[in-house]
Each structure stands twice: as structure tokens, then as C-alpha cells.
Structure 1
Amino acid sequence: MMTGDHVKASRSSHHDEEPLSPAARFFQAPRFNVYIIAIVGCKTRINTDVVKAGLEQTLVKHPRFSSKMVVDGNKYCKNKKWTQTKVNLEDHIIVPELDPNIDFPDRFVEDYVSNVTRTPLDLSKPLWELHLLNIKTSDAEAVGVFRIHHSMGDGASLISLLLACTRKTSDPEALPSVPVKKRAGSTFNSRDGFWWFFLAIWMLLRLIWNTMVDVLLFVATTLFLKDMKTPIKGAPGVELNVKKFVHQTVSLEDIKLVKNAMNMTVNDVVTGITQAGLSRYLNRRYIHSSCTGEEKKLDGRVKQSNSNIPKGIRLRTVILVNLRKSAGIQVAHAPNDPSSSLSVAETYPPEFKQDMADMMAKRLKTRWGNLIGYMFLPFTISLQDDPLDYVRKAKATIDRKKLSLEPIFTSMCIGFAFRIFGNKVAAAIIRRALSNITMAISGVVGAQEEISFYGHPIAYLAPFVYGPPLSLVVNYQSYVNKMTISLTVDPSVIPDPYELCNDIEESLKLIRHAVVNKGLIKDVV
């Protein structure tokens, strides 16, 4: 059984209480207290009264956002459940008084968000809050900062709900639209049935083999298989450190240009530029290590020629995969392709395109909550002579992962451990596995056109995650023709996160330049 919540969007009195799902419980386990931050940059100053009125009619009507967590029982048997409660928006909307002429406003917002994370959310109230900062930054006139506990839902659920609170700037009555994943038409010919049969058998055998290998690697990672110690690998206890949150915007059109030229997906390109950016960043960090007199060998590995990166680095990232199979409230990831975790598969279903109150009244059978699996992806960290090799290697790795049931297995494994051994063991398994790798990467698709948040035009969206035992989490968020790179870092491990952002952006430029120079695409300005 999958570990996610299955919540009907209803405010019926029969659903005033609901047990926490296994996923929600282990997201609240000791040393695995995970939160989601979503920064909304606005093009105008924020009218607090307008936002509150809008939230009253939308977000507060959602059962999860109007429920608090209640703990029953004794120390030997604690029963946690969501219980409906009356929401007082004054407890959830924080509007600090700020000097509009403050020096270094971008740095102020970063520090403000970091300081917010020092204090856990109050369990006596629904586990979310919104900070409204009327301060002009380099890319917005004002900023809204959502903080939501991960037990309330995964990124797919929460980003869809956030988008449900917005409207198209060009049409204030219309919800935003997201890309539709085109399904390939069937080209089956009965005369080729013989070859199709053997191809299907071959693909099935590959699926079984890849799944077995990935399952063994997951078990090994949980028990003993660790990533190599690198300048971006966090030490034990990294989840307890205060994080720093930075973001940077790149061109989505450049990513699509590379995607189309090389017949890839956005996932492939995003993974490729992340590998390329990390390689550039680590090479510079190793140069610094060499200059300070440290050994030029690491764990017995000799540096590659013309680079300072040790050869054969084991560096893995975890990707949270949406396991939903049908259209519903989610708008992020690919429900029909569990391995394609950075793209959108569906538009909103017709019944979702209405006010939140109407949506709740219709009691839609949507799979809300945490319905995710974990996929561990090895990164190739090296300096490539041809920039296009980064995306080629990324595509090869992702294509291989698509023929694996690893995300489903990890979800089932955690659910099984929860039912048999309890919440602490289930949380310890995933925390141990994450502690032995280096980073996490995720991405969600935003609106294709400009949207407004209760009448406030949005300049950008930047999602972050903190709480897992990782020193680096990379999130990608598309919006219109832009892609926001959001980094959650432990500043004691990565003291210069903007350098890493710059390396990822520069890698995209180099890859795009190589595509154009090699003539892989024409009519490019």
C-alpha cells in the first residue's frame, strides 16, 4: 500500500477527524521534521486586507488547512489525527513593520526566511503560516512567504492549491493553465506483432532487472553505502542546522531550445545543467583545497587531468516522485510516468476550474497529501570537454531509471515498516538513506501565463524544502518563460550558494551555445 493520504475534498461533518497517514507521521518524526517554504514575489505592494479576504474564501476552506493535529493516548501508544478547527487568520498571517528604505533588501529577505525556520509551527493550530513583506527587492515590489509543514501534503498537492488561489492576470475569472503532456499515438501494426512481442518481453526483463538492482542499492544505502565525502556533503546532524535560502532565475526558453534540439525532456536538461553546475562549483572548491595545502588525493582517488575533481566520485541525489496515476488536484510532476518527476502531465480537470468553495462542495475524489516515492539518481561529476555530454549523460541515467519500479518500492517499504515496526523505524529508514547521499532535487511546473495572487501580479515563485538530513536541496519552478532555481543550503557547508546558482546558469548558457554552434537547431536569434 502506498504511503500517501487519500483525502476527499469535503467539509462534511463526518470528516471532522482523520488519522494522520504514515507519510504525514514520519514527516513529524524526531530529526525528520520537514517543512516547505514557498516565496511568492509580487509586482505590486501587498494589500493585507485583500489577501486575508481571499484566503477566507479559498485556502481556509480546504480541510487540511483548517485542521490542527491532535495527539491522543499515552506515551506508549500515541494516536495522531487531523481535527477540524476554526481558523483565525490573525494567527497565520504575519505582517512585520519594515523600513521601505532598508539597506540590502534581498539579503534581508533571505535572513528573514532563515530566522523564521528557527521556530517550529505551533501544533495547537493548523500547520501553516504566511508572512507578507512589503519590501522592494531586486526582482519584486513585495514578497509573500508561505511556510507549510510537509505532513500536510507533498509539493504536487501544495503547489496545485497555491495555484488555485491565483487567477490569470489577463482574465481575473480564470484559473491558470499548465502544459499538457502529449501522449504518443499507437503505431502498432499487426504484421509487426511478432517483433512487438519480443520487444515487450525485453522491456519487461529490463524493468525487472533494473528494479532488482535499484532495490539492492536502496537497501545497501540504508545500511552502509555512503556517498564520497565532498565539499558539499553534510555531516551527521546537518538537519538541525539553520539553512540559507537563495534563488536565481534563468530562461525557460533556453532550456526548451536545448530540449528540442537534442530530442530530450525538460527533466533531462535540468538534470544535465545541475550536474554541469555542480562540476564547475566542485572543481573550484577543490582548487581552493589544493591551494590550502590539502592532499591532491581523496579516498585513494587520483584527480582527473586538467581538473581538480577526484576521479570516480560517488555523488547521488534523491528525487521525490509523484505516484499519482490520474488527474486530480495535483499539477506537479508526471502522474502517468512515475520516473518523470520534474514535469507536469495534466491540466486541471474541468471540475477544478472553479472557486475553492465550490470545489470542496463537490466532494471531489482527489488524492491529496503525501503520495510520493524516492528515486536515487547517480550524478556524473567531472569536467567535460563537450558541454552537451552533461545532458547526454543525464538523459541516459534518467532513461534507465524510467525502466525501474524503485519509487513504488521505496514507498511500499516505508509503508510496510510503519505498519510493522511503527513510525520511528519508518522515519529512521528514510532518514538513514538520505543521510548517506549528498543532495535532493525536485521541480514543479507553474503557470504558462502571468497570474495574480488575489489581485497582486506575480513576478516569480520560489519553492524550498528544509528539514531532511541534507546540506543541499535544489528546486526548479517554471513560470511563464522563466525557470527559478531555488537552493536550500547549509551555509557551514556551502558558504557561497550564489556561486553555485551562477555555475548552473553559466552551464545552461554554455550548453545552449554548443547546441547553436553545432547546428543542432536553426533560426535562433
Structure 2
Amino acid sequence: MAKEEEPLSPMARMFQSSGTDYCTVIIVGFKTKINPDVILDDLKQNVSKHPRISSKLAEDGTRWIKTQVNVEDHVFVPDIDPDEIGDQGDKFVDDYISRLTMLPLDRSRPLWDIHILNVKTSDAEAIGVIRSHHSLGDGMSRMSLIMACTHKSSDPEALPTIPILKRRENVSHGLRNTGWFLSSMFAIYATVRLIWNTIVDFLLLLSTVLFLKDTETSLKGGAEAESNAKRFSHRIVSLDDVRLIKDIMDVTINDVLLGVTQAALSRYLNGAHDETNENGGTSRPVLNNIPCNIRVRAGVLVNLRSEIGVQPLADMMAKDSKCRWGNLINIVVLPLSIGLETDPLVYLSKAKSTMDQKKNSLHAPILYLIMSFIVSVFGAKIGAALFNRLLLSTTAFISNVNGPTEEISLHGHPIAYIAPSVYGHAQALLIHFQSYADKMVISIAVDPTIIPDPHKLCDAMEESLKSMKIALLGKGLLINEQVSVRVNNMCN
């Protein structure tokens, strides 16, 4: 094999197969107008250094072929008349990105492009849209690339701080120093629990692929969703608020985000099932009109790297690196607790219980090995078909990626927010969480034929986070006076 060719990994082959032809979209809001010439000059100097973004896909879809990249073919700067757009910048950007989801990437070139929109929106002065095929790499890979191309806004000479995180140990701190007998008993219990949870997860996974489907709701899509245009919306909330709830309730950030998601989807579904007043013809909200025993599940992406945070790009590109570039991810099917709760903290406790069970399971890494085996032996189409059946049986997709811990700039262009998403999937709803400095960006992608207004879901997310903080204040759990002031300020 020529040195300039490299085989696709099994997961990359699956992601470029028909039925799982997924593309990622990273929407970057800037605090200033973008100078396209600066972006072009940087790309011309650096594109060739990255083997993935300077390679095209072979015709048989099994190899990356190194090629000469003409940067001008990948960067698009539409001529925009600000007077014509007026104060409709958000709608213009939403419509533009939605149209992109119907335009396939040119497979005769490296599978990425950048769109520069010097349009003022409610959260930014200009927008950059980075589109690439999912076979190039997962969210962690892309975030590492962004971090390598940017610098701290506070220090233009310094690279961003990499938020490296370690996986939590499952062994309780209180049992580490106990006697040999208790430690041994706990180790046996933990092992049995791990095996049991893994078996249960695989049985549920098999049932989902074969026959177990989610309840038909106003959130669930179908096979047609993968070919429909998608619409994107985002909402920026305080990361400190999320951390505060995490610390007080002694849970993880992922627990908080899942709890907020369950509360928000419950709000949305209850509103979507409003009854109509026959006399006046107006919508009348019902206290609890969500069907009983409703089944709503989400596919959650799990990072399988030993280091779960964003890694330096050089480390990810190193040969045989444990945190290497690519698609080192898999999916876990997570049941969502949907229903109206008088106490919003109930969503949080249920989220923690669910997440604890999934953390004590080998479902994700074993499934990764199984999918890789299926693709290698039976082909990418078979693997893609099985993966697609899994998505068709569930309602939503959720992911969370850690971003830089401080504000960053791209060649003098300070970044206001980063909102990643994906399209090409068979689900009507995707929810991505992206931390950035002191912000948490909630990015939502929907099939508008199923979910007409993604902004309503963003509203429900924001309101659910607020209701949890109000509940903590009402229960007297926010003892610190400074903390209480912060909550009151948010509630006002």
C-alpha cells in the first residue's frame, strides 16, 4: 500500500455508508466580523499538516488518499447585504445552515468545508460554519483541532487550556481503607453488578434492534428523517449554574444535563398534547396529559478513550496513541424519565440513578468491538443497517463535549460560543451540550416536519434549569448567602 494511503477504521467505514451518511456541523459565533483572507491564509499554511483534512475518500470507500488541497474550493463567503437582512440575522443563519443539510459534500475532495457569514445575530457579530463528514472523526477529535488552531483571548500568544479529565473510579472512597474481608466482598459485589448490568444492557439493545420501539410522540421521527432538511437552534446558559447544582446535589455535570433534558422534554410533550377547547377553539394546557407508561429513550454517545477530556492535537495524531484521532465512540441506549413532576429535583435523582447504572456496565466498549467485527467481516452496509435500526427505534440523540476553560480567539477573532451538531440521522431530535469558558451551550437539531420550532425546546431547557435552582433555594439547600444571591439574580 502506498504511503499516501491509509485504510478507514471500521467505524469510519460505517459512518460513510448509505443509511449512516452523517455530517457534523460546528456553528461558531464570533464577537467581531470575520476577515476571510486571514482564515484562508491560515488554512493554506496548515491544512496539509493534518492527514485527515488533506485526504479524500477512495472510490471504494475503504481508504483515505492524500491529495493536494485547494483551500478556495472549501471556503465559502456569500455576498450578504446587511440592509436586506435587517434584524433577521438569526433567521438568515438558520435558513442558510438548514439548506446546507441538503447539499452533499463533494466526495472528489476532502470531506469538509467552511462557510463565513458576516451576519449579526442575537449572540454574535458573525458566524462561521464548519461542516465535515463524521468519518473524519468524532466530537473530541474536532474539538482538539479547534483548540490547536486558536489562542487564549486574554493572551494571544498562549494556547487554550486543555480540560483533561480522568474517569471516575467506581470504588467508594469510604471502602478504600476498610479491612481485607469488606474490601474483597465489595470487589465481588462490584464485579457481579458490572456483569449483570452489561447483560441487561445487551438484552435491551438486542430487543431494541429486533422489536422494542419507543412510543410514537410528537418528538419521534422515522426513516424519512434522515433525508429531510434539519434546523438548528441553540441556547446559552451559565456553566456555573450547572456546576452549582452538581456540587449541592453531589452528582456529575452529565447527571444535571440529563435531568434538565428529562424535565424539558416532559414540559414540551405535555404542551404538545394540550387539549383544544371545543367552544372557543383555543389551546388549553392540561395539568398532566402525558400518556402513562410512555417509552422515550435516547442514544447517548460514550467516549471510549482512556482520557475523557479534550486532548492536545499532537497527542491525538501520534501513532498508537490511546487518545488517538478518529471515531473512538459508541452508543448507549438511555431510558428517559418522562412525566410531570411537582419537584423538578426528582428528574435529577432519576437521571443519577440511570447514569450510575450505565457507568457500571461494559456495554459501550464491547459493542464497539462487536460493531468493528461486523463491519470488518460482513461489510459497512450491514453494520450501518444495524446501527440505523437502533436509531429508528429510539427518540433522540444526546452528546456532551467539554470545551476550552477560557474564551479563545481565532487569529484575532474572539469566539462568543461554539455549538456543534450532526445531521443525516434517522431521528427527529438531537441534543448536544458544549461547555465553553463560563457557558454551557445547548445545541438542538430537529426535523422540522416533526418538531416545527426547536426554539421551544431551547426555552424548555432553560426553564428546567431555572426551576431546579429555584427548588434548591426553596428547600433551603443553598445555605451560602453568596450562592443564594446568585440564584435570586438568575430567577429575576
Calculate the TM-score normalised by the size of structure 1: 0.86
Residue 81 of structure 1 aligns with which residue? 63
Q: Distance in 1 between matches of 2:312 and 2:382?
A: 37
Note if contact 1:26-1:423 (Cα within 8 Å) is conserved in structure 2: yes
- CA deviations 1:383-427 (Å, max 9, x no partner) are 001111011110110001111111112212211211232111111
Question: Displacement of 1:147 after TM fit?
Answer: 0.3
Distance 1:221 1:245, change over 3 A: same
Q: Distance in 2 between matches of 1:174 and 1:492?
A: 45
Equivalenced residues, count: 470
- CA deviations 1:194-232 (Å, max 9, x no partner) are 101100100110110110010011111111110010111
| 1:10-409 superposed matches below 5 A | 15-71=3-59, 78=60, 80-101=62-83, 102-103=85-86, 104-181=88-165, 192-288=179-275, 306-326=287-307, 334=308, 344=309, 348=312, 365=321, 367-409=324-366
5+ long unaligned stretches in structure 2: 280-285, 486-492
Q: Distance in 1 between matches of 2:348 and 2:95?
A: 34
Q: Distance in 2 between matches of 1:55 and 1:292?
A: 61
Give the 3-state SS of the residue equivalent to 2:476 in structure 1: coil
Note if contact 2:114-2:130 (Cα within 8 Å) is conserved in structure 1: yes
Q: Distance in 1 between matches of 2:425 and 2:296?
A: 17
Q: Distance in 2 between matches of 1:364 and 1:190?
A: 36
- CA deviations 1:435-464 (Å, max 9, x no partner) are 000010001111111100121000110101
Tell me the amino acid that sits aligned with residue 438 of structure 1: T
Note if contact 2:56-2:110 (Cα within 8 Å) is conserved in structure 1: yes
5+ long unaligned stretches in structure 1: 1-12, 72-77, 294-304, 327-333, 335-343, 353-358
Tell me the amino acid that sits aligned with residue 312 of structure 1: N
Q: Distance in 1 between matches of 2:351 and 2:444?
A: 20
Q: Distance in 2 between matches of 1:321 and 1:139?
A: 30
Question: Displacement of 1:179 after TM fit?
Answer: 3.3
Note if contact 2:148-2:312 (Cα within 8 Å) is conserved in structure 1: no
RMSD over aligned CA atoms reads 2.1
Question: Displacement of 1:236 after TM fit?
Answer: 2.5
Residue 483 of structure 1 aligns with which residue? 440
Distance 1:174 1:285, change over 3 A: same
- CA deviations 1:454-480 (Å, max 9, x no partner) are 210001101011111100000011111
Give the 3-state SS of the residue equivalent to 2:43 in structure 1: helix
Question: Displacement of 1:235 after TM fit?
Answer: 2.5
Distance 1:284 1:437, change over 3 A: same
Q: Distance in 2 between matches of 1:427 and 1:180?
A: 32
Distance 1:207 1:291, change over 3 A: farther
Distance 1:272 1:214, change over 3 A: same
Give the 3-state SS of the residue equivalent to 1:33 in structure 2: coil
Question: Displacement of 1:14 after TM fit?
Answer: 6.4
Tell me the amino acid that sits aligned with residue 165 of structure 1: C
Question: Displacement of 1:347 after TM fit?
Answer: 5.9
Note if contact 2:234-2:442 (Cα within 8 Å) is conserved in structure 1: yes
Give the 3-state SS of the residue equivalent to 1:68 in structure 2: strand
Q: Distance in 1 between matches of 2:266 and 2:400?
A: 20
Does residue 473 of the first structure (1) align with residue 430 of the second (2)? yes
- CA deviations 1:232-253 (Å, max 9, x no partner) are 1112221111111111111111
Note if contact 1:59-1:165 (Cα within 8 Å) is conserved in structure 2: no
Calculate the TM-score normalised by the size of structure 2: 0.91
Q: Distance in 1 between matches of 2:7 and 2:278?
A: 55
Matched-pair identity in %: 49
Tell me the amino acid that sits aligned with residue 47 of structure 1: N
Distance 1:286 1:25, change over 3 A: same
- CA deviations 1:18-44 (Å, max 9, x no partner) are 111111111111121100000111111
Does residue 517 of the first structure (1) align with residue 489 of the second (2)? no
